[in-house]
Amino acid sequence: MTHAHQRLLQGDLQDQRLGRYTSDLGVTHTRTVTLPGIRTQSGYSFSQITLAYQTLGTLSPAQDNVVLVCHALSGDAHVAGLNPETGRPGWWDYHVGPGKAIDTSRFFVLSTNVLGGCGGSTGPSSVDPQTGRPYAMTFPPVTIRDMVAAQVRLLDHLRISKVFAVVGGSMGGMQALVWAVDYPHRVQTCIPIATCLAHTPMQIAFHEVGRQAIITDAQWNQGHYTAHRRPEHGLAVARMVGHVTYLSEFAMKTKFGRQLQREAKPEDLFPEFFAVESYLQYQGESFVKRFDPNSYLYITKALDRFDLLEGSPPHAALGRVKARFLVISFESDWLYPPAQARELVRTLKRANAVVTYLNLQTSYGHDSFLIQNPEFSRAVGHFLDAEYRRQRLPLKKTTQILGGTR
Amino acid sequence: MPYAQIYDQVAAWIPPTSRVLDLGTGDGAFLERLVKTNRVVGEGVELDAEHVTRCIERGLAVHQGDVMSGLDQYGNGAFDYILLLGTFQELKPSEQLVREALRVGRRLVVSFSNFGHIRVRWQLLVGGRTPVTDALPSPWFRTPNIHFFTILDFRDFCREMRLRHVASAYFNRRGFVRWFPNLRADIALCLLEAAPRV
């Protein structure tokens, strides 16, 4: 079996069964901080918010080496290194670390759990200070822009005025785009991966299946469930549907084929228990242990609501953008297909942004950015390296040699 | 082939600080040179992911895609110069391509292999087989070229497309060709712009 296939079979780091996994970063810690509140796009005012975040590497004296990594739907602040309690690696340990694509020996990596999440940041499972009870469904609708506004609060708190790069895949890519568009003076480079300009009906549709699975679970109880009676079944089904959309036909064929997981047991409904069924059930069960059902509702809705331009003409919305972009898509990603990335690239370019676009042949589907992927790693690493060198040139020389931006 | 000389000629035609789009930029070596020595603002379009990654390594902005979809990414007049070096003869809709390139850029730099060269004519006439020369190195079943044309053909094409030759240069193994280029040149290089309407 080739190395490429072995990598493919390994999958991502979030829920796979890991044998002995060592991280170059060792054990890393996640902190939480209470920050001044924000007013959401929907008009709700938080008096204060809590964000979980992780920092890796050292902030340079000039503060010019900050890389903000934004997580996708099921991620959290723990981006790399081993969790001190569970021993599990962060979701992007393959790509973040010393000497890796996002090199922690050069860059100061910052990662937060999103607003609305369940990894330590304020979300539906947090206690509403006004009522003393969990928000549940009284939590205000959140958007990708709200998530970014919360991150801005954290950067202000850390007194970081500018980020060298903001990087993220899928929902993380949406956050990266919002950063570049809404805070043009604070972002030098932007790497949106496997993402889009706005969610399409197909993407919304898959999320709606997941949400329905949760809210029709009797234990959901209008969002007021307890730790012992959670809508676990609904959330597991939601994750199973989601997971199918993150893979590709090729990945599934290679990974499972039509193999049966085990011999039939008398209690089985049907004699065949396929390996792919077993895998999805495992993914569902594993996810339920680490994710809050209400958060899943709120975050998927934030994704569905996402529209970078929000109805304004591209030139008006993107005219102030200063960042240089590396947009990456994957040929096998049918959830966020390359055509959507090209639409994003075209819109950015026609608004005069400087954009590099790379479409990789990785065959793992949407999850291609979460697995071991040397081509992906190289591209991100080289881009950050070249841009970091460009940034460090004296200003006069920069405009002379590179002619500034077009 | 004196490729270094051909590239020197292209570099000589492009004034400093111009905005340049290189279609089929390969690993970006030439574009990087233009950026460094001519101080141009350069971008590239390239189909191959491996080449695109090399361009990224060089710090170039590059779009992965074919030439037509690459051009479509840009607004009108985004560039001063559009480079089609060795790619023109490999691309199908020549007329649309030229029109689209002139929407995005002001001037075109095109290079192509001359099918009118004496050796090409000789091989076809006497040998009776599809010519294989230094400028047309691949056999017919492996060549990426889909158009085979001569310098005179290209002049006719430019007239029909209302393109004006701002400058031309012709090359063979020994370097510049001044006399009888359609017979003696292996490679033609043309700097073109839209002819003014009369």
Confidence (pLDDT) at A400: 43
Give pairs for A250-259: CB < 8 Å, separation 24+.
A250/A332, A250/A363, A251/A8, A251/A332, A251/A363, A251/A364, A251/A365, A251/A367, A252/A276, A254/A5, A254/A8, A254/A9, A255/A8, A255/A9, A255/A11, A255/A279
Q: CB–CB of A345 and B36 under 8 A?
A: no
- Dump pLDDT digits (tens) for A199-235: 999 999 999 999 999 999 999 999 999 999 999 999 9
Q: CB–CB of A406 and B78 under 8 A?
A: yes
B56 interaction partners in chain A (CB closer than 8 Å) = 326, 356, 358, 379, 382-383, 386
Residues 2-61 of B with CB under 8 A from A: 17, 19, 35-36, 39-41, 43, 49, 52-53, 55-61
A126 or A13: which carries more pLDDT confidence?
Answer: A126
Residue among B17, B57, B65 whose CB faces A386 most closely: B57
Q: CB–CB of B49 and A346 under 8 A?
A: no
Q: CB–CB of A358 and B75 under 8 A?
A: no
Instruction: Identify the DSSP state of B45.
Output: E
Confidence (pLDDT) at B2: 87
Confidence (pLDDT) at A393: 74
Query: What is the interface size between A and B, counted as CB pairs within 8 Å?
Result: 82
Question: If you average pLDDT over residues A292-311, what whole number do you get?
Answer: 97
Q: Does A356 touch chain B (CB under 8 A)?
A: yes
B86 or A11: which carries more pLDDT confidence?
Answer: B86
Question: If you average pLDDT over residues A284-313, what whole number do you get?
Answer: 96
Residue among A324, A385, A401 whose CB faces B39 most closely: A401
Q: CB–CB of A350 and B75 under 8 A?
A: yes
Cβ pair B112, B187 in contact under 8 A: yes
Architecture of domain A3-199+307-402: 3-Layer(aba) Sandwich (3.40)
B39 interaction partners in chain A (CB closer than 8 Å) = 400-401, 403
B52 interaction partners in chain A (CB closer than 8 Å) = 356, 358, 379
Q: Give yes or no for residue B11 having a pLDDT over 50.
A: yes
Average pLDDT, chain B: 95
Query: H/E element holding B63?
Result: strand B61-64
Residue A39's DSSP bridge partners are A45
Residue A69: CB atoms within 10 A of its CB come to: 30
Residue B87's DSSP bridge partners are none
Dist CA B67 CA B21 (whole Å) = 11
Distances (CA, A) of A302 to A369, B146, B195: 21, 49, 52
Question: If you average pLDDT over residues A239-268, what whole number do you get?
Answer: 92
Ranges assigned E (strand) in A331-385 = 354-360
- Dump pLDDT digits (tens) for A132-154: 999 999 999 999 999 999 999 99
Residue B7's DSSP bridge partners are none
Dist CA A84 CA A22 (whole Å) = 13
Question: If you average pLDDT over residues A165-182, what whole number do you get?
Answer: 98
A405 or B5: which carries more pLDDT confidence?
Answer: B5
- Dump pLDDT digits (tens) for A370-405: 999 999 999 999 999 999 998 887 554 444 444 444
Residue among B35, B49, B59 whose CB faces A358 most closely: B49
B65 interaction partners in chain A (CB closer than 8 Å) = 342, 357, 359
Q: CB–CB of A386 and B49 under 8 A?
A: no
Q: Give yes or no for residue A47 having a pLDDT over 70.
A: yes
Dist CA A245 CA A125 (whole Å) = 27
Dist CA A314 CA A297 (whole Å) = 30
- Dump pLDDT digits (tens) for A325-344: 999 999 999 999 999 999 99
Confidence (pLDDT) at A406: 42
Confidence (pLDDT) at A265: 86
Q: CB–CB of B35 and A402 under 8 A?
A: yes
* Residue positions of A annotated with a catalytic role: 170, 333, 366
Confidence (pLDDT) at A7: 58
Q: Which domains does chain B have, with CATH numbers?
A: 3-117+148-194 (3.40.50.150)
b vs e for A140-157, b when ≥16 Cβ sit within 10 Å of the residue's Cβ? bebbbbbbbbbbbbbbee
- Dump pLDDT digits (tens) for B64-101: 999 999 999 999 999 999 999 999 999 988 999 999 99
**Chain A, nearest residue to B53 by Cα:** A379
Dist CA A45 CA A66 (whole Å) = 29
- Domain limits, chain A: 3-199+307-402
Q: Give yes or no for residue A100 having a pLDDT over 80.
A: yes
Confidence (pLDDT) at A403: 42
Q: Which amino acid is located at A74 in the chain?
A: S
Q: Give yes or no for residue B180 having a pLDDT over 70.
A: yes
Question: If you average pLDDT over residues A80-86, what whole number do you get?
Answer: 93
Q: How high is the ipTM of this complex?
A: 0.91
pLDDT above 70 coverage of chain A, percent: 94
Q: Give yes or no for residue A19 having a pLDDT over 80.
A: no
